[in-house]
């Protein structure tokens, strides 16, 4: 795997508690990488370590195979969770200031900004003071400031907090668009719906440790563990009898449109799925069979509770 960023055995402790305990992860180039975890798990600390806003007690952060330097940091795009804008400045001037600080020249910055402002529908905020903006509005401005210089690595801390569903959707589209243009995006969140929709890879941090890492699809499949929903003509009892010891029936059946019944089963790994299918097909007039992938929300809760196998 070609990873753009690699975090290796990072440990960071504050007075009285450990914020990150031996955390390692690899961020594949060109991916959207989600850092998940409950509040206080250490997501923001990890981001601050990656950014070198704070230093790890132990461990390394590598960018493109070399230890990350302050100069690298100056070129990445970073959006902190609490919005970092000068309150007394006007929106447009402020955006130009940050853009020039990131190395764009004034005319180029203004051109790009006008484009982005139009795109996010905030052109008429150009001359307003930041202190007059709502949280979501300020966040849009901050988002533009973060991505304007087209960095190859973008880090967002809780980018969706403070947004209504419409704007959250808009932001998702923009994040995917940035990925399609070649950027790698790391963001932290506890909004699981956004994870399923846009993340390629995730790391789940709980109580300062990395408890789950990998591609979203693999994680969901692994957590799914051979659970299927089968639609058939038989009654719940008849179906259970037909399945016998080949699989475990989960919960009650439910009726579905067209007089069919839907029942969930879990097939132990040592059993052959084809045998189960053949048997059910004989006895229950099998109509459909679908693998049940758990939602990231389920996985999140199960992983945090420690019930994920």
Partner 1 sequence: MKKIYLIVAREFMERARKKSFIVTTLLMPLFMIGMMVAPSLMMLYGGSEQKQVVVIDKSGIVAERMVSSEEVVFSAQNNLTKEEACQIYNTESGVFGILYINEDVKQSGNVQFITNSSSSLMLEELIQSQLKNIIEREKLKERYNIDNLDQMLADVATPIVLNTFENNGTGNEDEMESTSAGINYILGIVLGMLLYMVIIIYGQMVLTSVVEEKSSRVIDVMVTSCSPFQLMMGKILGIATVALTQIAIWAVLVIAASKFLIPALFSADVAATSDMMLQGVIGTLGDTGYITMLFAYLAMFILGGFLLYASLYAAAGSAVDSVQDGQQFNTIIMMPIILAMIVMMSVFNDPNSPIAFWASMIPFTSPIVMIARIPFGIPTWEIIVSLAVLYFSFVLTTWLSAKIYRIGIFMHGKRPSWSELGRWIKMK
**By the criterion CB under 8 A, which residues form the site for partner 1?**
13-15, 48, 51-55, 57, 69-70, 73-74, 76, 78, 80-89, 93, 97-98, 100-102, 145
Task: State which residue, 44 or 263, has the beta carbon closest to partner 1.
Answer: 44
Task: State which residue, 57 or 282, has the beta carbon closest to partner 1.
Answer: 57
Task: State which residue, 145 or 203, has the beta carbon closest to partner 1.
Answer: 145
Q: Which residue, among 199, 88, 89, 91, has the nearest Cα to 139 in the 3D structure?
A: 91
Task: State which residue, 128 or 233, has the beta carbon closest to partner 1.
Answer: 128
Three-state secondary structure readout of the chain = CCEEEEEEEEEEEECCEEEEEEEEEEEECCCEEEEECCCCCCHHHHHHHHCCCCCCCEEEEEECCEECCHHHHHHCEEECCCCCCCCCCEHHHHHHHHHHHCCCCHHHHHHHHHHHHHHCCCHHHCCCEHHHCCHHHHHHHHHHHHHCCCCCEEEEECCCCCCCHHHHHHHHHHHHHHHHCCCEEEEEECCHHHHHHHCCEEEEEECCEEEEEEEHHHHHHHHHCCEEEEEECCCHHHHHHHHCCCCEEEEEEEEECCCEEEEEEECCCCCCHHHHHHHHHHHHCCCEEEECCCCHHHHHHHHHHCCCC
Task: State which residue, 143 or 228, has the beta carbon closest to partner 1.
Answer: 143
Question: For the chain, first and last CA: distance in Å?
Answer: 25
Task: State which residue, 68 or 195, has the beta carbon closest to partner 1.
Answer: 68
Task: Name the minimum Å distance from CB 70 to partner 1.
Answer: 5
Task: Name the minimum Å distance from CB 287 to partner 1.
Answer: 56
Task: State which residue, 5 or 308, has the beta carbon closest to partner 1.
Answer: 5
């Amino acid at each position: 795997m070609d990873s753009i960023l690699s975090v290796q055995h990072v440990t960071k402790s504050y007075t009285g508690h450990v914020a990150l305990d031996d955390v390692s992860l690899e961020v594949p180039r060109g991916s959207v990488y989600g850092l998940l975890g409950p509040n206080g798990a250490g997501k923001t600390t990890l981001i601050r370590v990656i950014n070198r806003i704070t230093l790890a007690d132990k461990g390394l952060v590598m960018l493109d195979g070399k230890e990350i330097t302050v100069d690298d940091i100056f070129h990445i795009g970073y959006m902190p969770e609490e919005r970092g804008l000068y309150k007394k400045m006007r929106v447009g001037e402020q955006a130009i200031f940050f853009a020039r600080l990131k190395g764009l020249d004034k005319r180029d910055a203004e051109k790009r900004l006008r484009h982005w402002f139009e795109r996010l529908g905030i052109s008429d905020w150009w001359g307003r003071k930041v202190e007059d903006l709502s949280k979501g509005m300020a966040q849009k401005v901050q988002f533009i400031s973060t991505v304007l210089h087209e960095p190859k690595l973008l880090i967002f801390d809780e980018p969706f907090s403070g947004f209504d569903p419409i704007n959250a959707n808009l932001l998702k589209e923009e994040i995917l668009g940035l990925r399609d243009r070649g950027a790698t995006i790391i963001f932290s969140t506890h909004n699981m719906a956004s994870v399923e929709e846009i993340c390629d890879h995730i790391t789940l941090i709980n109580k300062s440790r990395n408890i789950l890492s990998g591609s979203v699809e693999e994680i969901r499949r692994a957590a799914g563990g051979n659970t299927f929903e089968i639609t058939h003509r038989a009654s719940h009892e008849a179906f259970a009898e037909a399945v016998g010891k080949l699989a475990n029936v989960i919960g009650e059946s439910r009726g579905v449109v067209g007089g069919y019944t839907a029942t969930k089963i879990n097939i132990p790994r040592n059993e052959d799925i084809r045998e189960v299918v053949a048997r059910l097909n004989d006895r229950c007039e099998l109509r459909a069979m679908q693998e049940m992938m758990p939602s990231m929300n389920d996985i999140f809760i199960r992983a945090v509770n420690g019930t994920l196998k």
